[in-house]
Amino acid sequence: RPRVFSGIQPTADSFHLGNYLGAVRHWVALQDSHDAFYCVVDLHAITAGHDPKVLKQRSRVAAAQLLAVGIDPERSTLFVQSQVAEHSQLAWVLGCITGFGEASRMTQFKDKAQKQGSERASVGLFTYPVLMAADILLYQADAVPVGEDQRQHLELSRDLAQRFNTTFGPTFTVPAPHIVKDTAKITDLQDPTSKMSKSSSSPAGIIDLLDDPARSAKKIRSAVTDTGREIVFDAVGKPGIANLLSIYSALSGRGIDDLVAAYDGKGYGDLKKDLAEVVREALTPIQERTRTYLDDPAQLDKLLAQGAEKARVVAAATLRATYDRIGFFPPL
Ligand code: TYM
The answer to which of 122-126, 199-203, 294-298, 303-307 has the lowest mean pLDDT is 199-203
Q: Is the CB of 250 under 6 A from ligand 1?
A: no
Question: What CA–CA distance (Å, rounded) separates 215 from 60?
Answer: 23
Residues 6 or more apart from 284 whose CB is under 8 A from it?
Answer: 213
- With 90 as the cut, is the pLDDT of residue 226 above it? no
- With 90 as the cut, is the pLDDT of residue 227 above it? no
For the residues 202-217, what does the mean pLDDT come to?
96
Q: Is the CB of 10 under 6 A from ligand 1?
A: no
Determine the distance separating the centroid of ligand 1 and the alpha carbon of 8, expressed in angstroms.
6
The candidate with the shortest Cα–Cα distance to 271, out of 237, 231, 239, 222, is: 231
Q: Is the CB of 9 under 6 A from ligand 1?
A: yes
Query: Which residue lies with its CA nearest to atom 21 of ligand 1?
Result: 146
* pLDDT in the model for residue 140: 98
**Integer CA distances (angstroms), 211 to 97, 268, 283, 287, 288, in order:** 43, 22, 9, 9, 12
* pLDDT in the model for residue 53: 87
Q: Which residues are catalytic?
A: 112, 195, 198
- With 90 as the cut, is the pLDDT of residue 133 above it? yes
Question: What CA–CA distance (Å, rounded) separates 55 from 38?
Answer: 18
Q: Is 132 annotated as a binding residue?
A: no
pLDDT band, very low/low/confident/very high, at 118 (cuts 50, 70, 90): confident
For the residues 139-159, what does the mean pLDDT come to?
98
Convert the pLDDT of each residue in 273-299 to its tens digit. 999 999 999 999 999 999 999 999 999
Q: What is the DSSP string of 100-143?
A: HHHHHT-HHHHHHHHHH-TTTS-HHHHHHHHHHHHHHHHTT-SE
* pLDDT in the model for residue 49: 87
- With 90 as the cut, is the pLDDT of residue 200 above it? no
Query: Which residue lies with its CA nearest to atom 29 of ligand 1?
Result: 7
**Integer CA distances (angstroms), 115 to 104, 123, 148, in order:** 15, 15, 21
Convert the pLDDT of each residue in 31-79 to its tens digit. 999 999 999 999 999 999 899 989 999 999 999 999 999 999 999 999 9
Determine the distance separating the centroid of ligand 1 and the alpha carbon of 146, expressed in angstroms.
6
Beta strand pairing status for 3-8 and 35-40? parallel
Please, what is the average pLDDT of the chain?
96
Determine the distance separating the centroid of ligand 1 and the alpha carbon of 288, expressed in angstroms.
24
- Side-chain-side CA neighbours of residue 247 (13 Å): 34
Q: Is 198 annotated as a binding residue?
A: yes
The candidate with the shortest Cα–Cα distance to 156, out of 104, 90, 118, is: 104
Q: Which of 149, 178, 198, 208 to mutate to test the pocket of ligand 1 (most atoms within 8 A of CB)?
A: 149
Q: Is 10 annotated as a binding residue?
A: yes
Question: What CA–CA distance (Å, rounded) separates 40 from 304?
Answer: 10
| Greater pLDDT, 116 or 99 | 99
Q: Is the CB of 195 under 6 A from ligand 1?
A: yes
Determine the distance separating the centroid of ligand 1 and the alpha carbon of 33, expressed in angstroms.
21
**Helix/strand/coil for 199:** coil
Provide the percentage of residues in the chain whose pLDDT is more than 70.
Answer: 100
Q: Is the CB of 205 under 6 A from ligand 1?
A: no
* pLDDT in the model for residue 57: 96
- With 90 as the cut, is the pLDDT of residue 142 above it? yes
